[in-house]
């Protein structure tokens, strides 16, 4: 039920001079509730009707009628429209209860396939907080796409190839100790990686050594390949622990190395199409002048491949494998030029489907206002953060509800949820300051606040021993009305989130819902036995449905008790 559409259609019955779309563009939402739910300014009609706007407003207000409109008032040049709270509420609650978890579903995807390239950490390095954004943003977008009727393929495009592995192998051979690394593989490999860059700053010849070892790896040299496989296996074991805690799953873990035997085919294809040029011994593709992009490097002068070569091979493989209608790359904004080049090369090569490839970029995760850097060792390990968040959540539960059942599971849900929500409540292009203390607050715009509101709603329903039943009449108070309007626009919020590939639209809306619900909670006695009891509990139930579904779309759990 779109209240704006009801108002526009009713106004158009009275205003013959304007189309519905023209009326819709003029509609306003009054700043104060006492001025109505919607407002129509009459200034644009003054020239047409050759009458002053206040007179036109009186004329329109006197004729405006609809089964859901309670009254229309002329206030100066405005027509203020008030809806029938109880009737609208009855309709909204019935709609939510009829659909339950399907409320807000949109069939705009028509079962088309969307592939999402997300998370994609580098092997042989710890899973840091810096990888969190791609993981949770991508997972949430996939959930929203599914709610909108798309099939999704989540791809963890592991960073398991490239010059950095030559550097790591060189560092391992120079300074690695087998016994130490066996005991604690990832932290020790990180130390070696950081040491390599520290030493290379003093002795630049180390960089050449790193490149040489990567060339050996590309050529299949036995020792290089054995070390690389070991690094990859240990890394995947570590990553899977994190993904399990986050509740994130993938349809594919094919990393960059998977495309090693597919890159020459891409290079040949580009050559056949006359796109490759020589440049100082390297192979490049010139970009069109209109793009202002630098040339795209396909092969280095030593014959080594690059990110671009692999990403082109991956795009072609995924199109052939999954027949996608859209391909989303959830990767930081520092890769913007790279993805513009990939898209431009595919378009020059005649692949029109490249128009449906989208770089879903996002800002940095900051620590003390600075970017986290693996190379300099300035990282915050995600697993440690999750464990700390769970422990703090457990302490909160012990303090507030020591008799709670499943305390450990609820602590996990709250701790992990706090981290996810702290990220997703921010518009993805904004950088986010990491703060565990802020994440875990039970008040304000936090995950625990939303989860606690859901648990509160479920507690009311349990105490009221309420079961789903028809809501025969609605409520008329202003607090429940504000909540009803927020629940009513939920399908439009989903639409907006998918249009912009932006989970923060849902996170912000559900904060508004929770704040409105808690304002109502402070004013209302839900369990009083009177003729409005079922109406109150029906609205509580409807609110719980919208909160739970929103949490699911964000990739979070909804604890029944906290």
Q: What is the SS3 assignment for 116?
A: strand
Q: Specify the pLDDT at position 61.
A: 97
Instruction: Give strand pairing partners of 329.
Output: 117, 359
Q: Which of 50, 83, 116 is a domain's end point?
A: 83
For 173-188, write each residue's pLDDT tens digit.
999 988 888 888 888 8
Please tell me the total number of residues recorded for the chain in this structure: 562
The fraction of the chain above a pLDDT of 90, given in percent, is 79
**Whether the predicted pLDDT of 416 surpasses 90:** yes
Binned at pLDDT 50, 70 and 90, residue 373 comes out as low
Asked if the structure places residue 122 within a domain, the reply is no
Q: Specify the pLDDT at position 50.
A: 93
For 118-164, write each residue's pLDDT tens digit.
999 988 888 877 689 999 999 999 999 999 999 999 999 999 988 88
- Across 13-37, average pLDDT: 94
Q: Specify the pLDDT at position 380.
A: 63
For 455-491, write each residue's pLDDT tens digit.
999 999 999 999 998 888 899 999 999 999 999 999 9
Using only C-alpha atoms, the chain has a radius of gyration, in whole angstroms, of: 29
DSSP state of 102: G
Asked if the structure places residue 451 within a domain, the reply is yes
What is the rounded average pLDDT for all residues in the chain? 93
**What does the alpha-carbon distance between residue 359 and residue 419 come to, in Å, rounded to a whole number?**
24
Asked if the structure places residue 349 within a domain, the reply is no
Helix (H) or strand (E) holding 117: strand 113-117
- Across 409-415, average pLDDT: 96
Asked if the structure places residue 179 within a domain, the reply is no
Q: Specify the pLDDT at position 126.
A: 81
**Whether the predicted pLDDT of 306 surpasses 70:** yes
Q: Which of 55, 83, 111 is a domain's end point?
A: 83
For 218-240, write each residue's pLDDT tens digit.
889 999 999 999 989 888 888 99
Asked if the structure places residue 259 within a domain, the reply is no
Asked if the structure places residue 453 within a domain, the reply is yes
Q: Specify the pLDDT at position 22.
A: 95
Task: Give 261's contacts (C-beta < 8 A, 6+ positions apart).
Answer: none
**What does the alpha-carbon distance between residue 190 and residue 281 come to, in Å, rounded to a whole number?**
34
For 501-521, write each residue's pLDDT tens digit.
999 999 999 999 999 999 999
**What does the alpha-carbon distance between residue 77 and residue 68 come to, in Å, rounded to a whole number?**
23
**Whether the predicted pLDDT of 381 surpasses 80:** no
**What does the alpha-carbon distance between residue 297 and residue 282 come to, in Å, rounded to a whole number?**
7
Q: Specify the pLDDT at position 508.
A: 98
**What does the alpha-carbon distance between residue 279 and residue 360 come to, in Å, rounded to a whole number?**
31
Q: Specify the pLDDT at position 235.
A: 86
**Whether the predicted pLDDT of 428 surpasses 70:** yes
Task: Give 352's contacts (C-beta < 8 A, 6+ positions apart).
Answer: none
Give the residue from 493, 542, 500, 496 showing the smallest Cα distance to 517: 542
- Across 87-112, average pLDDT: 95
For 326-355, write each residue's pLDDT tens digit.
999 999 999 999 999 999 999 999 999 999
Contact between residue 11 and residue 61 where contact means Cβ atoms under 8 Å apart: no
**What does the alpha-carbon distance between residue 311 and residue 168 come to, in Å, rounded to a whole number?**
23
Q: What is the CATH number of the domain that holds 59?
A: 3.30.1360.70
One-character DSSP codes across 25-60: HH-B--SSGGG-SEEEE-HHHHHHHTS-HHHHHHHH
Judging by DSSP bridges, how do beta strands 277-279 and 282-285 pair with one another? antiparallel
Instruction: Give strand pairing partners of 366.
Output: 371, 433
Q: Specify the pLDDT at position 182.
A: 82
Q: Specify the pLDDT at position 179.
A: 87
β-sheet with 370-371: strand ranges across: 370-371, 365-367, 432-433
Residue 493's domain spans which residues?
383-554
Q: Specify the pLDDT at position 376.
A: 54
Binned at pLDDT 50, 70 and 90, residue 301 comes out as confident
Q: What is the CATH number of the domain that holds 391?
A: 1.10.730.10
Asked if the structure places residue 479 within a domain, the reply is yes
Q: Specify the pLDDT at position 302.
A: 78
Asked if the structure places residue 161 within a domain, the reply is no
Q: Specify the pLDDT at position 372.
A: 61
Q: Which of 31, 59, 83 is a domain's end point?
A: 83
Binned at pLDDT 50, 70 and 90, residue 257 comes out as very high
Lowest mean pLDDT among 27-41, 90-104, 229-243: 229-243
In angstroms, what CA-CA distances link 445 with 122, 257, 339, 450, 451? 32, 41, 33, 8, 11
Question: Domain count of the chain?
Answer: 2
Binned at pLDDT 50, 70 and 90, residue 378 comes out as low
């Amino acid at each position: 039920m779109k209240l704006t559409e009801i108002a526009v259609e009713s106004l158009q019955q009275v205003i013959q001079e304007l189309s519905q779309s023209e009326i819709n563009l003029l509609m306003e939402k009054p700043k104060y509730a006492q001025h109505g739910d919607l407002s129509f300014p009459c200034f644009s009609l003054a020239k047409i009707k050759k009458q002053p706007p206040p007179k036109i407003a009186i004329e329109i207000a006197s004729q405006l009628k609809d089964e859901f409109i309670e009254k229309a008032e002329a206030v100066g040049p405005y027509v203020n429209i008030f809806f029938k709270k109880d009737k609208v509420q009855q309709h909204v609650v019935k709609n939510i209860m009829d659909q339950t978890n399907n409320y807000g579903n949109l069939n705009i995807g028509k079962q088309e396939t969307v592939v999402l390239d997300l998370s994609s950490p580098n092997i042989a390095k710890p899973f840091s907080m810096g990888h969190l954004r791609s993981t949770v943003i991508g997972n949430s977008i996939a959930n929203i796409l599914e709610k909108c009727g798309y099939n999704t393929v989540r791809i963890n495009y592991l960073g398991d190839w490239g010059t950095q592995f030559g550097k790591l192998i060189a560092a391992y051979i120079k300074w690695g100790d087998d016994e130490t690394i066996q005991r604690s593989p990832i932290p020790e490999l990180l130390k070696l990686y950081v040491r390599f860059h520290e030493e290379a700053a003093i002795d630049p010849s180390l960089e050449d050594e790193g490149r040489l070892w990567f060339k050996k790896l590309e050529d299949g040299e036995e020792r290089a390949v054995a070390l690389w496989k070991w690094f990859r296996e240990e890394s995947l074991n570590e990553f899977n622990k994190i993904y399990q805690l986050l509740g994130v799953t993938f349809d594919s873990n094919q990393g960059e190395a998977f495309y090693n035997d597919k890159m020459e085919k891409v290079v040949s294809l580009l050559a056949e199409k006359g796109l490759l040029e020589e440049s100082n011994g390297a192979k490049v593709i010139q970009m069109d002048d209109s793009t202002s992009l630098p040339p795209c490097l396909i092969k280095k002068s030593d014959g080594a491949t690059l990110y671009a070569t692999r990403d082109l091979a991956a795009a072609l493989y995924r199109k052939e494998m999954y027949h996608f209608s859209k391909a989303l790359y959830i990767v930081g904004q520092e890769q913007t030029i790279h993805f513009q080049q990939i898209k431009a090369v595919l378009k020059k090569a005649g692949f029109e489907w490249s128009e449906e490839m989208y770089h879903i970029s996002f800002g940095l995760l900051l620590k003390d206002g600075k970017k986290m850097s693996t190379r300099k060792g300035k990282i915050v390990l995600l697993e440690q953060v999750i464990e700390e968040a769970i422990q703090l959540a457990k302490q909160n539960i012990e303090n507030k509800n020591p008799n709670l059942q499943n305390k450990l599971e609820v602590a996990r849900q709250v701790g992990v949820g706090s981290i996810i929500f702290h990220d997703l409540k921010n518009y993805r292009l904004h950088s986010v300051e990491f703060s565990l203390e802020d994440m875990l607050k039970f008040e304000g715009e936090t995950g625990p606040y939303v989860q606690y509101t859901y648990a509160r709603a479920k507690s009311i329903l349990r105490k009221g021993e309420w079961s789903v039943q028809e809501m025969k009449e609605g409520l008329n108070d202003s607090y429940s009305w504000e909540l009803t309007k927020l629940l009513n626009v939920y399908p439009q919020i989903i639409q907006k989130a998918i249009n912009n590939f932006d989970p923060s639209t849902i996170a912000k809306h559900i904060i508004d819902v929770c704040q409105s619900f808690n304002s109502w909670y402070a004013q209302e006695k839900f369990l009083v036995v009177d003729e409005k009891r079922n109406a109150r509990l029906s609205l509580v139930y409807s609110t719980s449905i919208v909160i739970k579904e929103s949490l699911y779309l964000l990739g979070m759990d909804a604890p029944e008790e906290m």
